[in-house]
Structure 1
Amino acid sequence: MKPSFHWFLPMYRDNRSYGGDPGAREATPKYLRDVARAAEANGFESMLLATGHDTKDTWLTAAAVAQHTETIRFIVAFRAGYTLPTLTAQMIETFQYLFADRLDINIVTGSDVEEQTAYGDEIAKADRYRRTREFLEILDAELAGRRYDFAGDYYRVSGGGRPAPISRRPTIFFGGLSEESADVGAAHADVQLMYGETPPMAAEHVERISKLAAAHGRSVEFGIRIQVISRDRSEDAWAETDRILARLTPQQVARRQRELAERQSIGQQRVQSLNPGVIDPDRLRPYPTIWSGLGLVGGGGGSTALVGSHAEVAERIQEYTEVGIRHFIVSGAPLLEEAYRFGEGVIPLL
Structure 2
Amino acid sequence: MFVEERIKLFVALGERLNSLTNDAKQELFVLAHNGNSWFTEESVKLALEGIGEFLKKDSLENWLSQYDLKEVSPKRIGVIAAGNIPLVGFHDVMTVLLSGHHLMIKPSSDDTFLMKYVLNLLGDIDSRIVERYSIVERLNEADAYIATGSDNSARYFKHYFKDKPNVIRANRTSVAVLTGEESPEELEALGQDVFKYFGLGCRNVSKLLIPSSFDLSRLLDTWEGYAAVGDHHKYRNNYDYNKSIYLVNREPHLDNGFVLLRESPDLVSPISVLYYSRFNSTADIEEFLANQKEKIQCVVGKNYIPFGQAQCPKVDDYADGVDTMAFLSSL
In the superposition, the TM-score normalised over structure 2's length comes to 0.33
With a CA cutoff of 8 Å and minimum separation of 6, indicate the structure with the bigger relative contact order.
1
Structure with greater proportional helix content: 2
In the superposition, the TM-score normalised over structure 1's length comes to 0.32
Larger radius of gyration: 2
